[in-house]
Amino acid sequence: MHLLFQPFQQLDNQLKLDVKGTGLGLALTRNLARLHGGDVTVTSTLGEGSQFTIFLPERPTGYVPSSLQKLRVNPTNQEPPHNGRILIVDGDKDGVMVWQDYLQYLGFQVKHLWDNQDFLQVVNAFVPDLILLEMTFVRGFSGLDLIAELRQQPQWRTIPVAIITATTVPISASEEEETEFTDTPFEEIQSRCVAAGANECLSKPLPLEELDALLVRLLL
């Protein structure tokens, strides 16, 4: 039962064959309920079924994760804690949906690109305070290529960029075919990301607690 609310967990039996999904539904539901000061619980009886209950307070509590309390300008203000802009460049629809919903709840303006198309144009128009960037894309670019382009622009040399990627990736589109993946130690991936100009490189899946900590490190 304790696995039900863990991200990316699914049944490991014949029932899974008929159910498609990412294993994020209950995790996201509980996180959103807790952000509003509530919770989600479950009771289950073998052979009979399960009952899920969501509890929400009558009035908003103004709760934000403890790691983000410093972002509040006025601790009595019930508004979200920050109004910065975050650009997400990632083709992972399900993962991005979780981050986007969470960040928007916190008060961030979020823009999402599915791939590297028009990257610099969007950066110049949106003027993000932080960029969350996937390592690999299908149009012949890698996240390292995009960072190189970004850092060539004087006005964007100091903007925080975090690469969030799977641990098995093609290092660069110029080194490999787009569909050819290489097992690379994650420490090497991190080193190359930092050398290319990224502030941080984190692996997927990225728990919301780690996203909290990333925001504090790069935006405070």
Vertex 217: Cα angle to 200 and 167 (nearest 5): 30
For 147, phi then psi, to 5°, come to -65, -40
Print pLDDT tens along the chain (220 aa): 666 777 655 555 555 555 555 566 787 788 777 766 678 888 888 888 889 898 877 655 555 555 555 544 444 333 334 669 999 998 877 677 888 888 888 889 999 998 878 899 999 999 999 999 988 765 567 888 899 999 999 999 999 999 988 755 444 444 443 433 456 788 888 888 999 999 999 988 787 788 888 988 898 7
Domains and CATH numbers, the chain: 1-63 (3.30.565.10), 66-219 (3.40.50.2300)
Tell me which H or E stretch contains 51: strand 49-55
